[in-house]
Structure 1
């Protein structure tokens, strides 16, 4: 006869040191009389957690697993269980409440800090309380220009990624990032301390100035504001030059083979939606080197 058993544990408080992790899986076992192991299922773990650990903002608290039953205590400004928050009916926010939204969003970092006025720059905004869902983002402007959130790049409460529209003013001034979560009232609006600037990338020199038609030359293109924006593509004539790296003054790429043989070839940069050219700066394709003789033609074998 097979009997089923139910083990009831006493109500005990378990603890682990440190706040480096918000939850910690631990081994689960059934022990008889202190030292006799009845069972220790290898796949079964008990999960210990602390609401406060690694959840020091309202957004991080409310995005925690609903199984933890953590909520944001407004009076304490801490992530707590309901029973640890005074007057939870008024002060305890939790994901189960209708239209719950964290106030006081904050921007801690934006990148990049420069881009072309033609737009297309993908701007990453990091911070806290940046909404629990992307649909909560009511308004994003970068230096006064609309920036459209990219749903697939959004990280709840922590990161907004958006694509810049074109700056329509001829000389658009720089400025901070401004965004609103839900509504644009004072407690749901924030502005970055960093500022974003519109720049005009340009180049006026290449090194080396020539290379073989078969390609493979490591080419350095020099100019100004060449690290602006979020993406760059280099073309030699109509073929893409394999990107290696870039700084404010240089872009390095590996030349493609020439489809039209030897001769001068134009250079074009696509930095986001900006097209950058220079009529005075070209790269010259030369015929591939050939070997006509070897001197000496013999050697002594030891």
Structure 2
């Protein structure tokens, strides 16, 4: 150290971890090579850096030494683990006094200097179930709990979220009982509420029992857990204290003197679908209440007095969660109809434990009939979209297949597409695509619905005619937005019933509609081009090196299954300038009503006939 000089001034300052000055200009008293600084009041538990500086006569500020210093106040730690872990061994926890204190302080009993010996709760998650609004005693286990023995004035309380505290009782050194009452906080069936247990000495100093598991109680409501009597009786009795109340017609807490053990007859609310073929094999879904506390409770299902076989696939029955329910209580019944000798209608009923439903839901057995097909001819190449007309074609689950002669009619679908639950009278048709490869005309049709033949070899008449023959297609021009009209010529074009242009580029498919005008003439509107093609052309327009002003794309024109490739050159869309009049309003002279429209790229594609 330099020899003492009267003109030198020694000072200390405190700096935090971010080099922010906490305190400065603290006078340092020198005694030979030792310096003493009086520390200021620091209001928080923090580790700071203390620096010793000397200020010379030339006003230089020279750092002589530095070290770290911990400012601590044990009493500020309110939890046992905080006291031990965050004080760098300067503090101990005193259970007797429920407080953190310096190591030099005395503790009558219960001195803790390791977090393993802090008073704490053990893991009891997923064990405690509490009904909303019902006072319930909950037993938690713990370690190193302070018993309220003679001379010791320990008090325990339990709290959950923002709810009021409740008094707790120590059973012994390893368990504690909390009496809790929790209102229904949401519309959930179950909700977990974290619980905290506090203990205090003489109701002055309070600390929370350590709980690394974040123990909780599960709040439930019988009414929300079980929608009917069957589900109420199926609830897990080790978790839920519920019973069915006939007075309120609800599942209630058992303390409300509800003890029904027999449920009422099942109630059917809906059946989907409401009709099917007389051949049976239609899978129907029955929705309702009190369908049984277990699948074994169901005696029989009858549809128009004909037995319906319940599926053995439990996953289809929407069986309730096995954790909350002891038995397999179904939320719906799915069964397969039997066959009927004739068309008939009748109610759908279920027998559960001998109690039969009193249903007014009607199911109809019907016979599908084919009356006509349209069109009656098409090209030999196939591809004709055929519409089959008839009666009762939309019955069952509408899983339809069509066979023309012995070949499948492709992509069959019902029209209109209505939900299976729709019960309003509707005339359905079946639409499918005629395949190619036939060696003779089509004279019969077979239809299956729900994998059962419902129309067998019904006589029809479909004649194969010559395929359309297209004249060579020269390259065409179009705007990126599409809509440009092109003309296609050929022979026998009207032997097809549907014509279109497809542009299939990468993942994009665009379709342009065509109109078959006659045997020799068809007009089509070019489909719009994919946007990324337009972006590519715009980028080339904005570069110094000019590329082509259009993009060539190969398209396909279809006449049913007959198709030809041709090329379309896509140009950027034209732009039209605003009208030149004031406010874009043009005034005309009485003898001159010509309007001039100007823009860019107007005649790249369009002809006089394209402008409207």
Scaled by the length of structure 2, what TM-score is found? 0.40
Asked if 1:242 corresponds to 2:411, the answer is: yes
Q: 1:73 to 1:297 in 2, by over 3 A?
A: closer
Q: Using the TM superposition, give the Cα deviation of residue 258 of structure 1 relative to its aligned residue in structure 2, in angstroms.
A: 2.7
Q: 1:283 to 1:35 in 2, by over 3 A?
A: farther
Q: Using the TM superposition, give the Cα deviation of residue 220 of structure 1 relative to its aligned residue in structure 2, in angstroms.
A: 2.4
Rg larger for: 2
CA distance in 1, matches of 2:243, 2:377: 65
CA distance in 2, matches of 1:181, 1:58: 12
Aligned length: 282
- The 8 Å contact of residues 389 and 429 in structure 2, kept in 1 or not, is answered as yes
Q: Using the TM superposition, give the Cα deviation of residue 109 of structure 1 relative to its aligned residue in structure 2, in angstroms.
A: 1.0
Question: What residue in structure 2 maps to residue 6 of structure 1?
Answer: 121
Q: Using the TM superposition, give the Cα deviation of residue 115 of structure 1 relative to its aligned residue in structure 2, in angstroms.
A: 1.7
User: What pairs with 1:147-166 in structure 2 (closer than 5 Å)?
Assistant: 147-152=308-313, 153-155=316-318, 156-166=329-339
Q: SS of the residue aligned with 1:228?
A: coil
Report the more deviating stretch, 58-67 or 109-118.
58-67
Question: What residue in structure 2 maps to residue 97 of structure 1?
Answer: none
Asked if 1:200 corresponds to 2:373, the answer is: no
Asked if 1:180 corresponds to 2:351, the answer is: yes
Question: What residue in structure 2 maps to residue 229 of structure 1?
Answer: 396
Question: What residue in structure 2 maps to residue 102 of structure 1?
Answer: 263
Q: 1:173 to 1:275 in 2, by over 3 A?
A: closer
Question: What residue in structure 1 maps to residue 356 of structure 2?
Answer: 189
Q: 1:80 to 1:223 in 2, by over 3 A?
A: same
- The 8 Å contact of residues 385 and 434 in structure 2, kept in 1 or not, is answered as no
Q: Using the TM superposition, give the Cα deviation of residue 52 of structure 1 relative to its aligned residue in structure 2, in angstroms.
A: 1.0
Q: Using the TM superposition, give the Cα deviation of residue 285 of structure 1 relative to its aligned residue in structure 2, in angstroms.
A: 4.9
Q: SS of the residue aligned with 1:193?
A: coil
Question: What residue in structure 2 maps to residue 113 of structure 1?
Answer: 274
Asked if 1:57 corresponds to 2:236, the answer is: no
Question: What residue in structure 1 maps to residue 438 of structure 2?
Answer: 260
CA distance in 2, matches of 1:75, 1:37: 44
Report the more deviating stretch, 262-271 or 205-214.
205-214
Question: What residue in structure 2 maps to residue 85 of structure 1?
Answer: 257
Q: Using the TM superposition, give the Cα deviation of residue 41 of structure 1 relative to its aligned residue in structure 2, in angstroms.
A: 6.0
Question: What residue in structure 2 maps to residue 132 of structure 1?
Answer: 293
Q: Using the TM superposition, give the Cα deviation of residue 76 of structure 1 relative to its aligned residue in structure 2, in angstroms.
A: 4.0
Q: How large is the RMSD of aligned CA atoms in angstroms?
A: 3.6
Q: 1:76 to 1:297 in 2, by over 3 A?
A: closer
Q: 1:263 to 1:154 in 2, by over 3 A?
A: same
Q: 1:24 to 1:214 in 2, by over 3 A?
A: farther
Q: SS of the residue aligned with 2:363?
A: strand
Q: SS of the residue aligned with 2:344?
A: coil
Q: Using the TM superposition, give the Cα deviation of residue 228 of structure 1 relative to its aligned residue in structure 2, in angstroms.
A: 1.2
Structure with higher RCO (Cα < 8 A, 6+ apart)? 1
Q: SS of the residue aligned with 2:359?
A: strand
CA distance in 2, matches of 1:80, 1:234: 54
CA distance in 2, matches of 1:136, 1:287: 64
CA distance in 2, matches of 1:6, 1:36: 10
Structure 1 unmatched ranges of 5 or more: 94-100
Asked if 1:73 corresponds to 2:187, the answer is: no
Q: 1:62 to 1:286 in 2, by over 3 A?
A: farther
Q: Using the TM superposition, give the Cα deviation of residue 142 of structure 1 relative to its aligned residue in structure 2, in angstroms.
A: 0.8
CA distance in 1, matches of 2:444, 2:206: 81
- The 8 Å contact of residues 262 and 287 in structure 1, kept in 2 or not, is answered as no
CA distance in 2, matches of 1:250, 1:160: 27
- The 8 Å contact of residues 277 and 367 in structure 2, kept in 1 or not, is answered as yes
Cα shift readout 1:97-116 (whole Å, capped 9, x = no counterpart): xxxx5332111111222222
Cα shift readout 1:49-94 (whole Å, capped 9, x = no counterpart): 11112634202323445423322234443212222325xxxx244x
Q: 1:279 to 1:80 in 2, by over 3 A?
A: closer
Cα shift readout 1:137-171 (whole Å, capped 9, x = no counterpart): 21221112121111223343431111111113xx4
Q: 1:118 to 1:295 in 2, by over 3 A?
A: same
Question: What residue in structure 2 maps to residue 276 of structure 1?
Answer: 455
